[in-house]
Amino acid sequence: MQQLIDKGYEEVYVQPLHIIPGSEYSKALHQAMRYKNDFKKLEVGRPLLSGIEDYQKVIAWLDLLAKNLDEDEALVLMGHGSQHSSFTVYACLDHMLMEKPIFVCAVESYPEISSLIERLKKSSYKKIKLYPLMLVAGDHATNDMASDDENSWKSQLERTGFHVETFLKGMGEATEIQELFIEHAAMIMKGKSNG
């Protein structure tokens, strides 16, 4: 921000690439807004899942991921989770997917994989496709989700009797998700709230 001030910029638009409006987003927002008086205009966009339309668009993308599932297959998504009150975003998204073979859990908060395993045991699903619900498939996806470690989600699901296939592809690689972030940035540039 100081470099932008030094170079004489007067209007600054910041589009964070966070999934939920959690503590990391709050930090980015507060850090940016410390410079609000240094610019004629400083706007910060909202995270990916900020309003009902965002949820609906993410669900439309998830429907594309799940469109070729067999009747005995389900999609399980690993969100990061948060100690911030916005951890409820994951439960809300999971609830909105209730009629679909798509489930959302979080590695560091609720809904937990142990609860989902209990739900899946009562279902007719035999095969699970694990995807990260994260911008990049980093440490959590590689180790906590897809590794052969006994506590990984893959291992826990396999011990329960499911056949598991893992996908180490962050949602940031999906054009549909990129477009949602671009929409959020466009909204602030037009002077409209996107939350």
pLDDT digits (tens, 9 = 90+) for 146-183: 999 999 999 999 999 999 999 999 999 999 999 999 99
Residue 191 clears pLDDT 70, i.e. is over it: yes
Residue 193 has what pLDDT? Answer: 58
pLDDT-derived band at 195 (thresholds 50, 70, 90) equals very low
Euclidean distance between CA atoms 55 and 45, whole angstroms: 16
Residue 74 has what pLDDT? Answer: 98
Mean pLDDT, rounded, for 84-109: 95
Mean pLDDT, rounded, for 89-114: 96
**Nearest to residue 136, comparing CAs of 177, 180, 176, 172?**
172
Residue 194 clears pLDDT 70, i.e. is over it: no
Residue 162 has what pLDDT? Answer: 98
User: What is the percentage of the chain residues whose pLDDT exceeds 70?
Assistant: 98
| Residue 192 token pair | 């409209």
Mean pLDDT value across the chain: 95
User: pLDDT (tens digit, 9 = 90+) per residue, 10-47?
Assistant: 999 999 999 999 999 999 999 999 999 999 999 999 99
Tell me the angle at which helices 52-66 and 88-96 cross, rounded to the nearest 10 degrees.
Answer: 60
Quick check: is 80 catalytic? yes
pLDDT-derived band at 88 (thresholds 50, 70, 90) equals very high
Mean pLDDT, rounded, for 130-136: 96
Residue 158 has what pLDDT? Answer: 98
Residue 82 clears pLDDT 90, i.e. is over it: no
Instruction: Say which of 80, 95, 140, 184 is annotated catalytic.
Output: 80
